[in-house]
Amino acid sequence: MPPARKLVAEQGGDIALAAVPATTVRIFRLIGLDRVLTIHPDASAATTPAPRRADTRPSGAPSFELDTSRPAAGAYGSTEAAPGA
């Protein structure tokens, strides 16, 4: 079975994460997953369609991008406790 990312891309979709804890966002940035997955600050931002931009990627390249317009919930020194903490 093909990886989920390939299946989603074949259907014209993207994989995104929402409300990712700040520590996890930092780890994703360190290992480069922020370049593969779109990370949104909350579910509302993740489900709001983004305007489509001109596609400048090579043919067959995955269409994933990082939403850097707002930090993830609890990111950048927030004192809020993570859910379940």
Q: What is the pLDDT of residues 58-85, one digit of tens each?
A: 666 555 555 556 655 555 444 455 555 4
pLDDT tens digits for range 7-44? 888 888 888 899 999 999 999 999 998 888 889 999 98
Compute the distance between CA of residue 24 and CA of residue 42 in angstroms, rounded to an integer: 14
- Which helix (H) or strand (E) segment holds residue 17: the answer is strand 16-18
Residue 36 near residue 4, CB atoms below 8 Å? no
- Per the model's pLDDT, the better-predicted residue between 69 and 6 turns out to be 6
Output phi, psi for 18, to 5 deg. Answer: -130, 150
pTM across the whole model: 0.49
Domain boundary assignment for the chain:
1-50+61-76
Average pLDDT, the chain: 74
Compute the distance between CA of residue 30 and CA of residue 33 in angstroms, rounded to an integer: 8
